[in-house]
Amino acid sequence: MIRQIPNIFTLLNLVFGCIAVILILQVNDSMVYMEEGQMLLQLPENIMLGSLFIFAAGVVDFLDGFLARWLKAASDMGKQLDSLCDAVSFGVAPSLIAYQILKLGYMRQSGATDILVWVLLPSLLVACAAVWRLAKFNIDQRQTIHFRGVPTPITAMVFASLPLMLWYNVTVANELLTNPWVVYALILVTAYLMISDIPILSLKIRKTDLKQNTPLLILAGASVLLIIVFQWVSILMIYILYVLLSLLFRKKMIA
């Protein structure tokens, strides 16, 4: 029974992901409200709550791996289960966030509530790329020391942060994220980076050698500073820094 504890945490990841999906979809017409006879738009609270459940799924996803190593309970079953659950929490749920933010952006631009579905469908690229990345990880024997492509949970945190930027009325976010072309660009770039073959830093400290862990130390120190200064916007900035550090230290990873 003890050896199944990591798998139980993995299923909890799935539960949180499913709750996130439910919340993100339960917006009805709450994007639109009337004030003094004028139609105004807002981000529904449920989407913001869905984002928080994606973050909760991320925490549980970290814990199941930690527990599997601590209890020496790693198994092929756990590996497959982890990928299947991640597909929902870090693939489908972030895709739906991109879908809703695109919808909000088009509504703000046109003032219309009827948006053609086809202009929102590119959001599904996030889910497709995430599932591709998860399948690739399971069969790619090169990803033992570093990753090939950005991990799905890290990408999911970027999309989970977007509604929180809008909810807390971050000025830059309101200007950029309500522009559908900015969201399209974010979808394309993150989807490509997930399925790419680019060596990406692993966040696990494997050696006590300070020099070997220099990129992670830089990332950790900068992340703390960015979070303090920029709050939710920092997640996107940390993502960009993570990719840049991976490119900068690429030669050391593939040596």
The CATH code of the domain that includes 118 is 1.20.120.1760
Per-residue pLDDT at 210: 63
Asked if 155 contacts 94 with a C-beta cutoff of 8 angstroms, the reply is: yes
Separation of alpha carbons 196 and 150, rounded Å: 8
Residue 58 lies in a domain: yes
Q: pLDDT value at position 39? A: 47
Band (71; pLDDT cuts 50, 70, 90): confident
Share of the chain above pLDDT 90, in %: 48
Out of 8-12, 51-55, 235-239, least confident range = 8-12
The answer on pLDDT for 125 being more than 70 is: yes
Please, which pLDDT band fits residue 31 given cuts at 50, 70 and 90? Answer: low
Q: Are 32 and 40 in contact (CB under 8 A)?
A: yes
Mean pLDDT score, 134-154: 83
What lies within 8 Å, CB to CB, of 211 at 6+ separation is none
Which pLDDT band, with edges at 50, 70 and 90, does 147 fall under? confident
Q: Is residue 195 part of a domain?
A: yes
User: Looking at residues 170-185, what average pLDDT do you find?
Assistant: 86
Which amino acid, one-letter code, is at 56?
A: A
Question: Which pLDDT does position 73 carry in this prediction?
Answer: 67
Of the candidates 166, 145, 4, 144, the one whose C-alpha atom is nearest the C-alpha of residue 98 is 166
The 3-state DSSP class for residue 241 equals: helix
The predicted model scores a pTM of 0.89
Mean pLDDT of 138-143: 74
The overall average pLDDT reported for the chain is 85
**What is the number of domains present in the chain?**
1
**Burial (0-12, 13-18, 19+ Cβ within 10 Å), 140:** middle
For residues 154 and 134, is the Cβ–Cβ distance under 8 A? no
Provide mean pLDDT across the span 11-28: 92
Residue 128 has pLDDT above 70, yes or no: yes
* Cβ neighbours for 81, distance < 8 A, ≥ 6 positions apart: 7, 10, 11
239 in any annotated domain:
no
Q: Is the pLDDT of residue 255 over 70?
A: no
- Whether 76 has a pLDDT exceeding 60, the answer reads yes
Q: Which residues have a Cβ under 8 Å from the Cβ of 22 and sit 6 or more positions away?
A: 50
- In-domain check, residue 140: yes
Structural domain containing residue 119: 2-199
The answer to whether residue 152 sits within a structural domain is yes
Asked whether residue 34 is assigned to any structural domain, the reply reads: yes
Specify the 3-state DSSP secondary structure of 243: helix
pLDDT band with cut points at 50, 70 and 90 for residue 110: low
**Residue 15: is its pLDDT beyond 90?**
yes
- Region 71-84: mean pLDDT is 80
Strands in the chain per DSSP E: 32-35, 38-41, 147-148, 199-200
List Cβ<8 Å contacts ≥24 apart for 224-232.
Answer: 231/168, 231/170, 232/161, 232/164, 232/165, 232/168, 232/170
Average pLDDT over residues 125-147: 85
Higher pLDDT, 167 or 96: 96
pLDDT band at 211 (very low <50, low <70, confident <90, very high): low
Whether 107 maps to a domain, the answer reads yes
29: in domain: yes
